Structure 1
Amino acid sequence: MPHQQQQSQQPQVRQTMDQQQTRFSPNGNSNHALQDYMMQLMLLDQQNKKRHLMYRQWEEDDRARVRQAQHDKTNRGGRKDSKL
């Protein structure tokens, strides 16, 4: 789903870039600077999304480890009591 959003946002970014290019195109330098700026923003946005996904995955893995540890502790405790 995030990949689909990213793809749908890219045409909007391109359209915005095209609109900005027509405004700043008299000498061409500002056009190139704007393209660089927009590409940097897109790259930073992609990196940020990747970081968020990695953090969410880490959180899910951490929660699973905690649940497994609690489950193991409960099962070990039950076995010890049954031997006594």
Structure 2
Amino acid sequence: MTIDYSIKVTRCEPMPGYKLKVTCSDGATGIFDMSQYVDRGMFRPLKDPQTFDRVRLAFGVPSWPGDIDIAAERVRSDMQII
């Protein structure tokens, strides 16, 4: 699979279970599961559901307070299409 580094996330909503409902710049919509990340390094603060729910888009990238973000191309390549 070729990774498209020009992809952006254009819509992002937090969901229960550390999931994000996302739409990408190529029109794909899906669910990205962050649960595998919240116990690791810089993502640990997201284990607090109130912090996780503060997700916002910054330049097409899902981002949280504290300079936490996840690459748009990772979201696109790993999301479950709905």
Provide TM-score, normalisation by structure 2.
0.21
Q: In proportion to residue count, which structure has more strand?
A: 2
Bigger radius of gyration among the two: 1
Q: In proportion to residue count, which structure has more helix?
A: 1
Per chain length, whose mean CA-contact separation is higher, i.e. which structure has more relative contact order (CA < 8 Å, sep 6+)? 2
